Amino acid sequence: MKFEITPGVDWVGKIDWELRKFHGEEYSTHRGSSYNAYLVRDEKTALIDTVWSPFAKEFVNNLDKEIDLNQIDYVIANHAEMDHSGALPFLMHRIPDKPVYCTANGLKSLKGHYHKDWNFQVVKTGDKLSLGKKELIFVEAMMLHWPDSMMEYLTGDAILFSNDAFGQHIATEHMFNDLVDQSELFEEATKYYANILTPFSPLVTKKINEVVAFNLPVNFICPSHGVIWRDNPLQIAQKYLQWAADYQENQISIIYDTMWDGTRMLAEHIARGIKQADDKVTVKLFNISRRDINDVVTEVFKSKAILLGSPTINKGILNAMSALIEMITGLKFKKKKAAAFGCYGWSGESVKILTDHLSKAGFEMIGDGFKAMWQPGDEALAQALAFGKDFAGKV
Ligand code: FEO
């Protein structure tokens, strides 16, 4: 499959309808994904990125039907992660002498992945590659989201090939932003930002401002996953600037795990207390062991405050909660408030453990948390409700 973006520029990637887990098991892709590669034809021809290795043969065979591979003059490798570089070995086997353009870090990561001495050409921000009437201008995008990441701008057609930035994990036959369901598009774009780009937010702001300062027109933003932004393409850059500015909505998320429903009952009463104190705030409850962890992380991203709850087991916390804590610690959320709660029978360490983890993860803690011994009765549930009210008043 291929389709035209504008005359001389074609999408030649792979739509992966079946993908449900990405990065191993790290990222859920409920709507599949696509690996976007682009063929730019002028007097010279450039191929921008490839696809994930399981589709390498299919990709190169399709490309071979579209163009004599020997007519590809330049191969651009924006990023060595295998969802984009995975077909390079198969492709370069066919055209071994063609130059491969990448950043200095890309040289290291591509060699580190494939152990090949292809004809690498290292580029940096501002370097230009003439294709004839148009040229590609390279922009290094270090840590967006790997040290090797790179984008390029195609003059004439005014296209920004942004690699992972501005992507979304969506499989669709409608590969332009104006043709898909907008709520699905922004749900996936938000999830992508929350789960992948949050720790790099200061760099996101810096890089977008740097690109905007070039004052170049942008007709299309072509990311390496999901749909191409052609209708008001800069809307996604504006969204990124909002998301990078320690984004939050008027939402409190209560995330818990429970063994015999005691901690669930606390969660529900805390939620009731919050709503009694503030009927405008959105309160959402998530049982982390029954929910998709990446979707919950997205809700944390949207929240101004979170409450984590776990009963105590073996002087610790339940393991689904441990996985969430590991993830939100790595994502380095900022300017969010938090507290912990949970039931216990004997020793009751869980609330302190959660509080310590949240504090180390950069959350501003509101108090020492709330814990209830044994199965919560009327008194403990009333206290949980009061705890929720108090929390709402402090966030
Ligand atoms: Fe889509 Fe960082 O690879």
pLDDT tens digits in sequence order for the chain, 395 residues long? 899 999 999 999 999 999 999 988 889 999 999 999 999 999 999 999 999 999 999 999 999 999 999 999 999 999 999 999 999 999 999 999 999 999 999 999 999 999 999 999 999 999 999 999 999 999 999 999 999 999 999 999 999 999 999 999 999 999 999 999 999 999 999 999 999 999 999 999 999 999 888 889 999 999 999 999 999 999 999 999 999 999 999 999 999 999 999 999 999 999 999 999 999 999 999 999 999 999 999 999 999 999 999 999 999 999 999 999 999 999 999 999 999 999 999 999 999 999 999 999 999 999 999 999 999 999 999 999 999 999 999 99
Q: 11 pairs with which residues across the strands?
A: 3, 38
Q: Is 145 a catalytic site residue?
A: yes
Res 296: pLDDT: 98
| Co-location of 268 and 227 in the same domain | no
* 81 Cα–ligand 1 center, Å: 5
* From 225, 268, 269, 344, the catalytic residue: 225
| Co-location of 240 and 255 in the same domain | no
Which domain covers residue 184, as residue numbers? Answer: 3-244
Q: How far apart are CA 324 and CA 69, in angstroms?
A: 46
Res 82: pLDDT: 96
Domain boundary among 216, 244, 272: 244
What are the DSSP calls for 120-152, one per residue?
Answer: EEE--TT-EEE-SSSEEEEEE-TTSSSTT-EEE
| Co-location of 268 and 160 in the same domain | no
SS3 category, 299:
helix
Structure-token pair, residue 393:
């008043």
Res 39: pLDDT: 98
Q: Please, is 21 exposed, middle or buried when counting C-beta atoms within 10 Å of its C-beta (0-12, 13-18, 19+)?
A: exposed
SS3 category, 93:
helix
Phi, psi (rounded to 5 degrees) for 141: -135, 60
Contact 264 CB / ligand 1 (< 6 Å) = no
In Å, how far are 163, 201, 224 from 146, measured between CA atoms?
11, 13, 14
Q: Is 256 a catalytic site residue?
A: no
| Co-location of 79 and 221 in the same domain | yes
Domain boundary among 214, 244, 274: 244
Q: How far apart are CA 323 and CA 291, in angstroms?
A: 12
Contact 257 CB / ligand 1 (< 6 Å) = no
Res 212: pLDDT: 86
DSSP 346: S
| Co-location of 223 and 266 in the same domain | no
| Co-location of 61 and 203 in the same domain | yes
| Co-location of 197 and 315 in the same domain | no
Contact 31 CB / ligand 1 (< 6 Å) = no
Q: Nearest residue CA, atom 3 of ligand 1? A: 81
Contact 36 CB / ligand 1 (< 6 Å) = no
Phi, psi (rounded to 5 degrees) for 355: -60, -45
| Co-location of 65 and 204 in the same domain | yes
Res 148: pLDDT: 97
Q: Is 115 a catalytic site residue?
A: no
CATH code for the domain in which residue 316 is found: 3.40.50.360
Polymer length in residues for the chain: 395
Contact 84 CB / ligand 1 (< 6 Å) = yes
CATH code for the domain in which residue 36 is found: 3.60.15.10
Q: How far apart are CA 154 and CA 157, in angstroms?
A: 6
Domain boundary among 206, 224, 244: 244
Number of domains into which the chain is organized: 2
Cα dihedral 152, 158, 162, 168, rounded to 10, equals -160
* 83 Cα–ligand 1 center, Å: 6
| Co-location of 113 and 150 in the same domain | yes
| Co-location of 155 and 280 in the same domain | no
| Co-location of 255 and 121 in the same domain | no
| Co-location of 70 and 121 in the same domain | yes
Q: Is 225 a catalytic site residue?
A: yes
SS3 category, 208:
helix
pTM of the prediction? 0.96
Are the CB atoms for 115 and 78 separated by under 8 Å? no
Contact 42 CB / ligand 1 (< 6 Å) = no
Q: Is 93 a catalytic site residue?
A: no
* 129 Cα–ligand 1 center, Å: 24
In Å, how far are 224, 254, 340, 367, 394 from 388, measured between CA atoms?
43, 10, 11, 12, 10
